[in-house]
Chain A
Amino acid sequence: MATSTVSSIPLSLSDRLTAGIIALLIGGFLVFGAGLANSAVLHDTAHDTRHSYGFPCH
C-alpha cells in the first residue's frame, strides 16, 4: 500500500521516512527558535512575527 501512494516522490520507503523525520526535526527546531524559545534576543528579533503568527508571547 505504501509504495503506491508515494509513486510521485522518487524515494524509497526508508529514504522517505528519513527525509520526513529530518524535515520534521529541522522544521520544528526553526519554528521553536523563531516562535517559542525563551531567549531575550530571539524574542525581540522575532517580536512582531511572534505576535502576528499568534504564538503565545510575553
Chain B
Amino acid sequence: MESLLEQLQRFSEVLAVSRTTHVSSWDPATVRRALQWARYMRHVHRRFGRHVRIRTALERRLQNQWQQEDGAGPAAIPGLTNFRDLGHCDLLLSQRLLENRALGDAAFRCLLQQLFPGPGVRDAEEETLRDSLRLQDSLALLSRRRAAVHLLHVHGFGENSALRDDSLVKTQAALLLERLQEAGEADAEGPGRLLGSLGERWPQNSFLEVIAAALLLPSSTPRPPREELELGSPRTPGEGRDELVHWLLGKSDIMATFCRSLPAGLLTSVAGRHPELFQVYLGLLTDWGRHLHYDLQKGIWVGAEAGGVPWEELCGRFRSLCQAPSPLKDEVLSALEACKAQDGDFEVPGVSIWTDLLLAIESGA
C-alpha cells in the first residue's frame, strides 16, 4: 500500500513538472516512461475504483498534496486532485506535453508517435497499442467537442446571449461545487480558503453569479461527464452547496454585495431554495428600507446617503419575493406587516415605508 501511495505521489509530481520548462531535459525515453506511468495509474483507477479503503487512502494523499502545493487555496498548477482524475491522467499528461514548447524536438516526435499511432487495427491485441488507440480517440473527441462548443457558442444562440451565458455559468457552478466538496473533505477550513482566494481572482460579478448558480443547481445534477467510465461511487454535489451556504452566512459583507448586485428574480430563486439565506436577505431588505425617508416636496421615498438602495429597487425585490410560491410569499408579507405595525400601523401613504411597500406590492401584483 505504501509503495502505491509513493508511486501516486511521484506521478503527481511528474504531472506537475509536465507543465514547466523542466521538460526541456526530457528525452524520448522519459516521455515513454511518463506515458507508461500514466497508463499504469489508469489501471490503478480501474482496479481500485470499488475498493473503498484503498481509494480513500489514495484520495487523502492527493488532497494533502494539493493543499500543500498552494496554502492559499486552489493549486495554480492543475494536477491530480481526486481519485477520479486518475481515470484520465494520461489525457491530462498528453495535453500538457503537447502544449509545452519547452519539450525538445526528439521528445516531441516521440510523444506524437505514442499518441497518434494512426488508423491502426480496431481490435488490436497488444494492450499498449489498444491504450494508445483509446487515447488517440479521446484526444480527437476532445478536439471535436471543442469545435462543437465553439459552433454552438457562435451560431447556436443567436440573439439570446442570456441563455448562452447561462450554460457557461452553470458549468462553472458545477465545477466550483465539486472543488468545494473536495476541499471540505480534506480539511474543514478548505472551502473557506478556496472561496476566499477565488473571490480575489475572479471578477466580482461573475464570482457572485457562479455562486448563485451553484446554489440553484438541482441536487440530482450529475457531475460533468468524463471521458472515462465512472467507477467511483458518485457523490452528490449537495455537500459542496452546504459549504457554500455556510461560507456566505459567515461573510456578511459578501452576502450584502450578493443580495445587492444580483437580479431580483435570481435572488428570489436562491431564497426559495435556502431558508437560511432567505432570512438574511429579508433582514438586509428591511434594513435597507429603514434607511429611506419620505421627501415631502417630491412625494417619493429617497435614500439618506448616496449608494443606498433606491425605492424602486427595494420595491422590485420585495415584489419578486411576493411572486414566489408560499411559504416565501407569506413570510415576506407577514414581515412587512410586522414592520408596519411597529411603525404605528398607518394606512395613509407617505408616513411609513412598510405601508407604502405593501400598497405597491398589492397594486403591482
Say if A and B assemble together. Answer: no
